[in-house]
Amino acid sequence: MRVGVVGLGTMGAGIAQLCVEAGIDTVGREVTADLGERARDRIVHFLTRKVEKGQIESFEVERLSLTVDLTDLAKCDLVIEAIVEELEPKRQLFTELERICRPDTVLATNTSALSVTEIAAAVSSPERVVGMHFFNPAPLMPLVEIVRAELTVDAAFDTAFSLAETLGKHPIRCHDTPGFVVNRVLIPLLNDCIRVLDEARVTVEDLDAGMKHGAGWPMGPCELVDLVGVDVHVHASEALYEKTRETRMAPPPRLVAMKNAGLLGRKSGRGFYTY
- What tens-digit pLDDT sequence spans the chain (275 residues)? 999 999 999 999 999 999 999 999 999 999 999 999 999 999 999 999 999 999 999 999 999 999 999 999 999 999 999 999 999 999 999 999 999 999 999 999 999 889 999 999 999 999 999 999 999 889 999 999 999 999 999 999 999 999 999 999 999 999 999 999 999 999 999 999 999 998 999 999 999 999 999 999 999 999 999 999 999 999 999 999 999 999 999 999 999 999 999 999 999 999 999 99
Residue 273 in any domain: the answer is no
Residues 208 and 258 in one domain: yes
Residues 127 and 199 in one domain: no
Measured between alpha carbons, how far is 265 from 263 in angstroms, rounded to an integer? 6
Residues 198 and 240 in one domain: yes
Largest CA distance in the chain: 57
Residue at which a domain ends, from 175, 201, 223 = 175
Residues 104 and 227 in one domain: no
Q: What pLDDT is recorded for position 136? A: 86
Residue at which a domain ends, from 155, 175, 195 = 175
The count of domains in the chain is: 2
Measured between alpha carbons, how far is 36 from 102 in angstroms, rounded to an integer? 24
Catalytic residues: 112, 133, 145, 183
Residues 59 and 146 in one domain: yes
Residues 140 and 200 in one domain: no
Strands 143-148 and 129-134 turn out to be antiparallel
Residues 157 and 206 in one domain: no
Q: What pLDDT is recorded for position 113? A: 83
Q: What is the pTM of this model?
A: 0.92
Residues 142 and 252 in one domain: no
Residue at which a domain ends, from 119, 143, 175 = 175
Residues 160 and 189 in one domain: no
For residue 227, the surrounding DSSP H or E stretch is helix 221-228
SS3 of the chain: helix, strand, coil, percent, to 5: 50, 15, 35
Through-space distance between the first and last CA atoms of the chain, rounded to whole angstroms: 41
Residues 168 and 243 in one domain: no
Measured between alpha carbons, how far is 5 from 79 in angstroms, rounded to an integer? 6
Name the residue range of residue 252's domain: 185-268
